[in-house]
């Protein structure tokens, strides 16, 4: 087993981003910024209905446009294996399974010619009746076998109904969250060159080896002949965790022009129906408590959508199984398969909508019981993980709540809602808890001694803007006993040793463990002084303690909001988060991660919604003009803190994932503050002015 990292000269140090200068200078080349000679350009064609069948495609006018190289449709596309993930099996039949689905593509010498010709392709369809509307009592709702990644869909422990019936205080409330979209700054892009020698993709991805494996499998290639390069990625939030259909389309087009690079950059409108989204949810939460606030029962019942062609079962109620002690507990997920694009991962999938509901309901219980919401949470702190009975490797929730209360100025808060005014603004504050599991996967790293105390460290990790370039060098430096400047790191290329996805907040944990493992092995093999040229490659397995302890990060969000009593506009005046996430490897990049998550939580609370027009099965918020993300003007003083936490179980660095926990619970803190300000409990996100008037 890997030893804990004991030298901490670099780990914990506030360091600038290793790639910051290149990014600021525009010299960090993103996928579409590859400028290979002789590139051809691909523009996709989108399905005009939500369900139906293509009856004819007339490409004659498009093919007549100067510079057009071809029009790809289901009539001429290469066959893909039957067992491939259905959302990737594009152009295999005339069937349309969601509006905006790729039904073809136009390839041309210039982007202008491709775009013009795409507008000339006539796609005729027989539309069929469709259904895109999630409803609590939808007749097709069903309980899946499991929810992501492999949790039971239903759990039941104790007599929930009996406990609720005799509880001193109870709430029975239903929350709704809308469909959400990952909108990374860099949209999905692919530059692919297909030749007899192999396939090279510059792909904006969170997982170079995952893309390599999927492309090889889809097209029947030896994975060794596929190379995926992604040194810089402009955000992903889960949306680039798996290969999506655009890359399949690009590979199909590239096969028609062997040796010639094919470039595809999705517009927001093309991205929205084809690169995953967060499912909408309807969540009923029932809580029962003794007079002193101790929970006797928790029920969390969820309805969410999936697509008709593939099952994606978000784990919305899973965090409810481990957050608080309770005498009885029931959780259930139901899915409705609709004519919608396939849902996928979006920052803390499951925890984000699920903890919004749980933490809002807890606030409602605090109000009903007349107990301070922080005190209520502290009284329900479990001794061991309620879902497994295992001890927690470390659990810093109470410490985060206490420290946050102190820093935010919670003491003496008047719990009475709707009574504080500053002119026409109603003012209130709210709190909510956060949690996220510590996932650890397997990965491989290679370390090579260059001599003179310098080392090369390689692993196919992906830096999606999170700081992997920076923190992995810090970890390697301590593992090898040298300065960060003596580490030459290479990541973001499937030609390097295999690494897991930059997802599930597992990147630093997983890749760092592999790097420490390889470094310790190299030093051990050479009595601590490897000569120039000495090299080892080492695998790091998943966490060996996973069966013995429950590993989670925790946090607490505090928000102060002001609501305009005339217009209903809610604004966040102040936001403060405290996190317990093990050892912080780099305070600067960590702070940005937490802050980014909290900002996304603010967007979730007040702005973000993907809206479907169910009459047409169409997303009517397909770009950033309609899908509102928080802008600088929306984000106030936002404070991030953390508590020091020693956790010997999670990994050699003692760090927990920080990429996702910042968003978990943030929307609930804001919603709870809106209630405190106005006395109005809005149970449907986002909290737009119309809901407060
Ligand atoms: Mo994250 S949604 O696991 O990339």
- Quick: pLDDT tens for 390-430: 999 999 999 999 999 999 999 999 999 999 999 999 999 99
CA distance 319 to 331: 10
Q: What is the pLDDT of residue 343?
A: 98
- Ligand 1 atom with the shortest distance to the CA of 345: 2
Count of Cβ atoms closer than 10 Å to residue 129 Cβ = 9
| Cα 280 to chain centroid, rounded | 15
Check whether 538 has a pLDDT greater than 70: yes
Using N-to-C axis directions, what is the helix angle for 587-606 and 351-369, rounded to 10°?
70
**What distance in angstroms lies between residue 503's CA and the mean position of ligand 1's atoms?**
4
What is the percent of the chain with per-residue pLDDT over 70, rounded to a whole number? 100
CA distance 359 to 434: 9
Mutating to test ligand 1, I would choose from 345, 351, 662 the residue with most ligand atoms within 8 A of its C-beta, which is 345
Concatenating the DSSP letter of every residue in 585-622 gives S-HHHHHHHHHHHHHHHHHHHHT--B-EETTTTEES--
- Ligand 1 atom with the shortest distance to the CA of 237: 4
Mutating to test ligand 1, I would choose from 205, 207, 241, 553 the residue with most ligand atoms within 8 A of its C-beta, which is 241
CATH of 20-29+441-540, one of 3.30.365.10, 3.30.565.10, 1.10.3720.10, 3.40.190.10: 3.30.365.10
- Strand-strand pairing, 487-490 and 454-458: parallel
CA distance 6 to 26: 37
Q: Do residues 210 and 460 make contact, with C-beta atoms less than 8 angstroms apart?
A: no
CA distance 41 to 240: 21
- Ligand 1 atom with the shortest distance to the CA of 241: 4
- Ligand 1 atom with the shortest distance to the CA of 505: 3
CA distance 142 to 391: 33
Q: For 130, phi and psi rounded to 5 degrees?
A: -130, 165
Q: What is the pLDDT of residue 551?
A: 98
Concatenating the DSSP letter of every residue in 286-301 gives EEEE-TTS-EEEEEEE
Give mean pLDDT, residues 648-676: 98
Concatenating the DSSP letter of every residue in 301-329 gives EEEEEEESSS-----TTSGGGTSS--SEE
Strand partners, 436: 553
**What distance in angstroms lies between residue 20's CA and the mean position of ligand 1's atoms?**
23
**What distance in angstroms lies between residue 658's CA and the mean position of ligand 1's atoms?**
11
């090579």: which residue's tokens? 448
Six-digit token string for 282:
């309807």
**What distance in angstroms lies between residue 508's CA and the mean position of ligand 1's atoms?**
13
- Does this model's pTM top 0.95? yes
- Give the DSSP letter of residue 162: H
Q: ipTM value of the model? A: 0.96
Peptide bond into 686 cis (omega under 30): yes
C-alpha distance from residue 627 to each of 48, 189, 244, 425, 601 (Å): 21, 20, 21, 26, 15
Q: Do residues 250 and 39 make contact, with C-beta atoms less than 8 angstroms apart?
A: no
Write down how long the chain is: 693
Instruction: Kindly compute the dihedral angle of the four CA atoms of residues 607, 361, 359, 300, in this order, to the nearest 10 degrees.
Output: -100
Q: For 486, phi and psi rounded to 5 degrees?
A: -90, 0
- Give the DSSP letter of residue 514: H
CA distance 210 to 480: 29
Six-digit token string for 267:
């517009």
- Give the DSSP letter of residue 88: G
**What distance in angstroms lies between residue 531's CA and the mean position of ligand 1's atoms?**
40
Give mean pLDDT, residues 511-526: 98
- Strand-strand pairing, 425-437 and 421-422: antiparallel
CA distance 646 to 580: 10
**What distance in angstroms lies between residue 592's CA and the mean position of ligand 1's atoms?**
16
Give mean pLDDT, residues 103-129: 98
Active-site annotation, residues: 660
Q: Do residues 230 and 263 make contact, with C-beta atoms less than 8 angstroms apart?
A: no
For residue 494, which of 458, 466, 467, 527 has the smallest C-alpha distance?
458
Q: Which residues line ligand 1 (CB under 6 A)?
A: 206, 236-238, 241, 345-347, 349, 503-504
Query: Residues near 354 by Cβ (< 8 Å), separated by ≥ 6?
Result: 281, 283, 300, 302, 315, 316, 317, 318, 319, 320
Q: Do residues 573 and 560 make contact, with C-beta atoms less than 8 angstroms apart?
A: yes
Query: Strand, helix or coil at 576?
Result: strand
Q: How confident is the model at residue 636 (pLDDT cuts 50, 70, 90)?
A: confident
CA distance 661 to 435: 6
Stretch(es) of the chain classified as CATH 3.30.365.10: 20-29+441-540, 34-129+183-271, 146-180+277-438+548-692
Check whether 2 has a pLDDT greater than 80: no
Supply the mean pLDDT for the chain: 97
Give mean pLDDT, residues 207-227: 98
**What distance in angstroms lies between residue 260's CA and the mean position of ligand 1's atoms?**
33
Q: Considering the domain 146-180+277-438+548-692, what is its CATH architecture?
A: 2-Layer Sandwich (3.30)
For residue 127, which of 59, 75, 54 has the smallest C-alpha distance?
54
- Ligand 1 atom with the shortest distance to the CA of 346: 2
- Give the DSSP letter of residue 26: T
Q: How confident is the model at residue 644 (pLDDT cuts 50, 70, 90)?
A: confident
Look at ligand 1, atom 4, and give the residue with the nearest C-alpha. 238
Mutating to test ligand 1, I would choose from 238, 500, 508, 600 the residue with most ligand atoms within 8 A of its C-beta, which is 238
**What distance in angstroms lies between residue 346's CA and the mean position of ligand 1's atoms?**
6
- Strand-strand pairing, 328-338 and 421-422: unpaired
Query: Strand, helix or coil at 256?
Result: coil
- Ligand 1 atom with the shortest distance to the CA of 349: 2
Q: Do residues 191 and 36 make contact, with C-beta atoms less than 8 angstroms apart?
A: yes
- Ligand 1 atom with the shortest distance to the CA of 348: 2
pLDDT digits (tens, 9 = 90+) for 186-208: 999 999 999 999 999 999 999 99
**What distance in angstroms lies between residue 437's CA and the mean position of ligand 1's atoms?**
12
Q: How confident is the model at residue 3 (pLDDT cuts 50, 70, 90)?
A: confident
Q: How confident is the model at residue 8 (pLDDT cuts 50, 70, 90)?
A: confident
Alpha-helix residue ranges (DSSP H) falling in 339-492: 351-369, 373-379, 397-408, 468-480
Q: Do residues 281 and 177 make contact, with C-beta atoms less than 8 angstroms apart?
A: yes
CA distance 432 to 357: 10
Mutating to test ligand 1, I would choose from 503, 508, 601, 663 the residue with most ligand atoms within 8 A of its C-beta, which is 503
- Strand-strand pairing, 637-642 and 570-580: parallel
Check whether 1 has a pLDDT greater than 60: no
Q: So what CATH class is 34-129+183-271?
A: alpha beta
């Amino acid at each position: 087993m890997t030893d804990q990292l004991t030298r901490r000269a670099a780990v914990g140090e506030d360091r600038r981003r290793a790639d910051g200068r290149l990014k600021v200078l525009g010299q960090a080349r993103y996928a579409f910024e590859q400028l290979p000679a002789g590139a051809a350009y691909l523009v996709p064609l989108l399905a005009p209905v939500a369900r139906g069948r293509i009856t004819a495609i007339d490409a004659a006018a498009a093919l007549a446009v100067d510079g057009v190289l071809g029009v790809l449709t289901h009539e001429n596309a290469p066959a893909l294996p039957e067992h491939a993930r259905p959302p990737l099996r594009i152009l295999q039949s005339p069937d349309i399974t969601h509006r905006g689905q790729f039904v073809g593509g136009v390839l041309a010498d210039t982007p202008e010619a491709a775009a013009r010709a795409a507008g000339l392709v006539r796609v005729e369809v027989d539309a069929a009746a469709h259904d895109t509307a999630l409803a609590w009592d939808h007749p097709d709702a069903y309980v899946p076998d499991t929810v992501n990644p492999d949790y039971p869909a239903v759990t039941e422990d104790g007599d929930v109904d009996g406990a609720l019936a005799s509880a001193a205080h109870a709430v029975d409330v239903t929350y709704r969250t809308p469909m959400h979209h990952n909108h990374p700054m860099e949209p999905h892009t692919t530059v692919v060159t297909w030749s007899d020698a192999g396939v090279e993709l510059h792909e904006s991805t969170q997982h170079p080896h995952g893309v390599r494996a999927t492309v090889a499998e889809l097209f029947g290639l030896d994975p060794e002949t596929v190379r995926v390069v992604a040194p810089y990625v402009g955000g992903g939030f889960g949306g680039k965790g798996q290969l999506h259909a655009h890359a399949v389309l690009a590979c199909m087009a590239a096969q028609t022009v062997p040796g010639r690079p094919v470039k595809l950059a999705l517009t927001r409108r093309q991205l929205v129906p084809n690169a995953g989204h967060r499912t909408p949810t309807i969540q009923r939460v029932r809580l029962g408590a003794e007079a002193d606030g101790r929970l006797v029962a928790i029920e969390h019942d969820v309805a969410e959508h999936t697509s008709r062609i593939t099952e994606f079962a978000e784990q919305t109620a899973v965090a409810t199984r481990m957050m608080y002690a309770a005498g009885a507990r029931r959780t259930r997920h139901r899915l409705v398969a609709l004519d919608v694009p396939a849902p996928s991962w979006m920052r803390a999938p499951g925890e984000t909508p699920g903890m919004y509901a749980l933490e809002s309901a807890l606030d409602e219980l605090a109000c009903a019981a007349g107990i301070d919401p922080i005190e209520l949470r502290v009284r329900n702190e479990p001794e061991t993980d309620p879902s497994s009975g295992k001890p927690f490797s470390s659990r810093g929730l109470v410490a985060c709540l206490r420290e946050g209360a102190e820093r935010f100025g919670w003491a003496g808060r008047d719990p009475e809602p709707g009574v504080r005014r500053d002119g026409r603004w109603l003012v209130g504050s709210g709190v909510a808890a956060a949690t996220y599991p510590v996932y650890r996967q397997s990965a491989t790293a290679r370390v090579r001694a260059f001599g003179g105390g310098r080392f090369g460290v390689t692993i196919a990790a992906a830096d999606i803007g999170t700081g992997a370039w920076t923190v992995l060098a810090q970890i390697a430096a301590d593992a090898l006993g040298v300065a960060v400047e003596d580490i030459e790191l290479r990541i973001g290329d499937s030609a390097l040793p295999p690494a897991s996805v930059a997802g599930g907040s597992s990147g630093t944990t997983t890749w760092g463990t592999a790097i420490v493992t390889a470094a310790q092995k190299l030093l051990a093999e050479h009595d601590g002084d490897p000569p120039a040229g000495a090299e080892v490659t080492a695998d790091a397995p998943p966490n060996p303690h996973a069966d013995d302890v429950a590993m989670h990060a925790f946090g607490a969000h505090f928000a102060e909001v002001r609501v305009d009593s005339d217009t209903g506009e809610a604004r966040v005046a102040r936001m403060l988060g405290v996190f317990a996430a093990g050892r912080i490897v780099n305070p600067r990049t960590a702070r940005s991660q937490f802050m980014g998550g909290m900002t996304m939580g603010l967007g979730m609370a007040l702005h973000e919604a993907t809206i479907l027009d169910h009459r047409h099965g169409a997303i009517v918020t397909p770009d950033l003009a309609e899908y509102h993300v928080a802008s600088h003007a929306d984000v106030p003083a936002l404070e991030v803190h953390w508590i020091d936490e020693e956790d010997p179980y999670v990994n050699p660095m003692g760090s927990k994932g920080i990429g996702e926990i910042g968003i978990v619970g943030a929307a609930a803190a804001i919603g709870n503050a809106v209630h405190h300000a106005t006395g109005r409990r809005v149970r449907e996100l986002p909290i737009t002015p119309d809901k407060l008037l």
